[in-house]
């Protein structure tokens, strides 16, 4: 018999960003810290009802070399964003490193590698490579080609643990401003993907966000996204407020 999980919660996180122009162009370091609290339940049986609290934190550093190359490294700690993982108190540590090369005014190449260490003694590696070309500005419209490899050391029924996943996507992105105070972004990424023991199948991911700058240091935002990768799909929506000091 399958177990259904439900989780409801909230989180708060503060962020500090410091410009390091003396180290090079576009150099900065950012820190964040916070906490997330949930109440969870399962039915008809399974993990007992629980109220997990997760510490949140991150550190990221980026720098540029000349006008056309950027490097970044970072690490963060958070919770696994599924009800089953939350009910079982699973969190993760993630480290990331990558670069972006602007080969032409409109053409760029970016690559990132992510390493995950989960609190249930699991590990995961994910690599993304994106070639993107911007076709016009105001609004910004770009089309790209993205390759993804994603693999987890052991499988879990509580959250997506990709098994030698290969994905090829063609993301379309549109970024625009609606007046002086509102900005919006929409991305649609059709493609194909497969995991071990399966054939390539069609997949479609999409997302959008709207940000409203209510005042100089205060803004409201809402985001929604659907992610699909071979045997896995999910939908998420987030709304929040941002206060800058």
Residue 204 located in a structural domain: yes
Residue range(s) defining the domain that contains residue 145: 103-243
Residue 205 located in a structural domain: yes
**Omega prior to 44 cis, within 30 of 0:** yes
Q: What is the CA radius of gyration of the chain?
A: 20
* Predicted pLDDT of residue 44: 64
* Predicted pLDDT of residue 137: 86
Residue 153 located in a structural domain: yes
pTM: 0.89
* Predicted pLDDT of residue 34: 97
Residue 37 located in a structural domain: no
* Predicted pLDDT of residue 58: 98
Q: Look at the chain and report how many structural domains it folds into.
A: 1
What's the rounded Cα separation, in Å, for the pair 14 and 235? 25
Which regions of the chain are under pLDDT 50?
none
168 membership: H or E segment, kind and range: strand 165-169
Residue 51 located in a structural domain: no
Residue 48 located in a structural domain: no
Residue 155 located in a structural domain: yes
* Predicted pLDDT of residue 5: 82
Token code pair at residue 99: 């670069």
With tokens 């499988």, the residue in question is: 155
What's the rounded Cα separation, in Å, for the pair 62 and 203? 32
* Predicted pLDDT of residue 146: 98
* Predicted pLDDT of residue 186: 97
Residue 165 located in a structural domain: yes
């Amino acid at each position: 018999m399958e177990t259904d999980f439900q989780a409801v919660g909230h989180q708060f996180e503060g962020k500090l960003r410091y410009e390091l122009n003396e180290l090079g162009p576009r150099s900065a370091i950012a820190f964040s810290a916070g906490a997330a609290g949930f109440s969870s339940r399962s039915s008809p049986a399974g993990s007992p009802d629980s109220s997990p609290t997760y510490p949140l934190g991150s550190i990221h550093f980026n720098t540029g070399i000349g006008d056309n190359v950027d490097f970044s490294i970072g690490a963060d700690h958070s919770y696994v964003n599924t009800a089953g993982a939350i009910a079982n108190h699973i969190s993760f540590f993630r480290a990331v490193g990558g670069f972006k090369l602007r080969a032409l005014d409109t053409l760029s190449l970016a690559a990132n590698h992510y390493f995950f260490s989960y609190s249930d003694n699991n590990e995961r590696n994910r690599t993304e490579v994106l070639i993107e070309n911007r076709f016009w500005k105001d609004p910004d419209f770009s089309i790209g080609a993205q390759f993804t490899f994603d693999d987890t050391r052991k499988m879990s029924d509580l959250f997506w643990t990709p098994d030698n996943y290969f994905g090829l996507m063609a993301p379309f992105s549109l970024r625009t401003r609606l007046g002086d105070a509102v900005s919006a972004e929409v991305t649609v990424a059709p493609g194909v993907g497969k995991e071990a023991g399966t054939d390539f199948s069609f997949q479609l991911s999409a997302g959008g966000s709207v940000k409203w700058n209510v005042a100089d240091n205060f803004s409201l935002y809402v985001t929604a996204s659907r992610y699909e990768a071979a045997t896995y799909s999910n939908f998420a929506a987030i709304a929040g407020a941002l206060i800058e000091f």
